[in-house]
């Protein structure tokens, strides 16, 4: 079967975001199980299987589209990396600033959210550009 000569950049970015979202979903679910078993923290309904899966997939597909926009209009991955680091930092600072003084930083909802954000951010910074720039990955 003959391979196509040109794969659209938007399709590559969308597929890279979707694959990164799939990996992030698995990593976040494993983190959820490990975090709950170590801390014995059991939230009622906020962080269940479906919300973690849906949030991870949607966020990383949107980051894949943002990566495409940065490559098309700004033509630089450095600005993309800087923006993602800035977003991760702002979200983590916001999550930690709303915690009680009596509890540790990585306990409760803050520990779960901070872990999800850090793991997804690391994958968005490393795996997403790799999948997008890899020459023979999608076909």
138 versus 136: the higher-pLDDT residue is 136
Closest CA to 116 of 126, 106, 130: 106
CB 121 within 8 A of CB 84: yes
Residues 104-126 have pLDDT tens digits of 555 667 777 778 888 888 898 88
Task: Provide Rg for the chain, Cα atoms.
Answer: 17
Report the mean per-residue pLDDT for the chain: 80
Mean pLDDT of 52-71: 88
Per-residue confidence (pLDDT) for residue 84, from 0 to 100: 80
Q: What's the pTM?
A: 0.79
Burial class (CB in 10 A: 0-12, 13-18, 19+), 132: buried
Count of residues for the chain?
139
């Amino acid at each position: 079967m003959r391979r196509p000569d040109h794969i659209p950049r938007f399709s590559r970015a969308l597929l890279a975001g979707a694959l990164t979202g799939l990996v992030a979903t698995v990593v976040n679910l494993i983190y959820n199980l490990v975090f709950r078993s170590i801390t014995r923290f059991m939230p009622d309904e906020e962080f269940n299987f479906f919300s973690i899966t849906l949030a991870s997939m949607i966020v990383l597909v949107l980051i894949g589209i943002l990566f495409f926009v940065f490559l098309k209009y700004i033509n630089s991955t450095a600005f993309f990396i800087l923006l993602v680091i800035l977003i991760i930092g702002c979200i983590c600072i916001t999550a930690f600033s709303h915690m009680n003084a009596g509890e540790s930083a990585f306990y409760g909802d803050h520990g779960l959210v901070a872990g999800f954000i850090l793991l997804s951010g690391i994958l968005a910074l490393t795996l997403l550009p790799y999948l997008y720039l890899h020459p023979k990955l999608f076909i």
